[in-house]
Amino acid sequence: MTTKENAVKKQNEAGTQKKKQSKGISSGLVIVLSFLVAISIFQFVFGNPDNFVGGNRDNLPMQGNLLGTIYKGGFVIPVIMTMLISVIVLFVERTIAIGRSKGKGDLTVFVANIKEKLTNDDILGARDLCSKQKGSVAAVISSGLDMYELMMKDDSGLTKEQKAVNISKKIDEATALELPMMNQNLPVIATFSNLGTLTGLFGTVLGMIRSFSALGGSGGTDSAALSVGISEALVNTAFGILTGAFAIISYNYFSAKIDNITYAIDEIGFSIVNVFQSRHA
C-alpha cells in the first residue's frame, strides 16, 4: 500500500472515529423525559393522599410530613425538578464523555511519556502510546504525528518554518473537531444554573403573594392559606437554590476538566513542533 493510500485510510478512520465521538445524549430528550419523571414524582409521591390530613390533597400536610409540604409548593416545583433531574442526568453523561476524551490512562503520565518519545525521536513509540491511550487527546496527537511524518518526507521545497506551521495547524484543526464533543450539553447546564434560581424566586414570590392575601382577607387571617403560602415560598426557594448550586458546580467542574485536556494537547503540540524544528531541515 502506498504512502498516499495509507494517508487516505488514516483520514477515513479518523473521520469515522469523530462521527462516533460526536454522538451524545440529546439535551432536549433529557429535558422532556426529566419533565415526565418530575410530574410523576410530584403527583404520585409528593401528592400521595396519605401525606395530607384526611387523605385529601386540598388539606394541610400531616404534621412533620415533608413530602406533603413540598407538594404545597405548587406547580413551579415540577418545573424546577425538571431542571434538577436534567442537570443530574447531564452530569453523569458528561462525566462519562469527558472521561472517554481523556483516554484510558492518566493524562499527566501520557503527556510526559509522549514528550519523552518525541525527545528521543521515537515517532512509532509515540503512536503506540496514542493507540493505547485512545480518547480525544490521543486522536489529536495522532493527527499531529501524521502531519509530522508527512512533513518529514515532503520535498515540495517548503521551509522548515512552513512545515512547522503546517504541523501546528493540523493539531489546531484536530483540536477544533474534538472540542464540540467535549463541550456538548454544557450550555444547557450553564443555563439551568441561572434559570433554576430564577424559577425558584418566581415560586417564592407566588407563595408570598398567597401569604399576604391570607393576612389581608376581610374575614380575618386564614391560617390554612397562610401556611400554604409560606410553604410554597420556602419550598420553591430551597429547590431553586439547590438546582442553581448543583448546576454551577457541575459547569465549573467540567470546564476545568476540559481546560486540563486542552492544556495537555497544547503542551504536546508545542513539543511536536519544537522537536521537528530542532531535528529536521
Least confident of 38-47, 96-105, 144-153, 154-163: 154-163
pLDDT at 281 over 70: no
Q: How confident is the model at residue 23 (pLDDT cuts 50, 70, 90)?
A: low
Instruction: Indicate the average pLDDT of the chain.
Output: 86
**pLDDT tens per residue across span 51-90:** 998 999 888 888 888 898 899 888 999 999 999 999 999 9
Condensed to tens digits (0 to 9), the pLDDT of residues 197-206 reads 999 999 999 8
Other CB atoms within 10 Å distance of the CB of residue 148: 24
Region 245-263: mean pLDDT is: 95
Alpha carbons within 13 angstroms on the beta-carbon side of residue 142 total 21
Higher-pLDDT residue of 214 and 108 is 108
pLDDT > 90 fraction of the chain, expressed in percent and rounded: 51
Look at residues 171, 96, 93, 162 and name the one whose alpha carbon lies nearest to residue 138.
171
- Chain centroid, CA 257 distance in Å: 10
Work out the average pLDDT over 37-64: 91
What average pLDDT score do residues 157-166 get? 87
Q: Compute CA distances 172 → 34, 75, 238, whole Å.
A: 37, 48, 44
Distance of alpha carbon 134 from alpha carbon 107, whole angstroms: 11
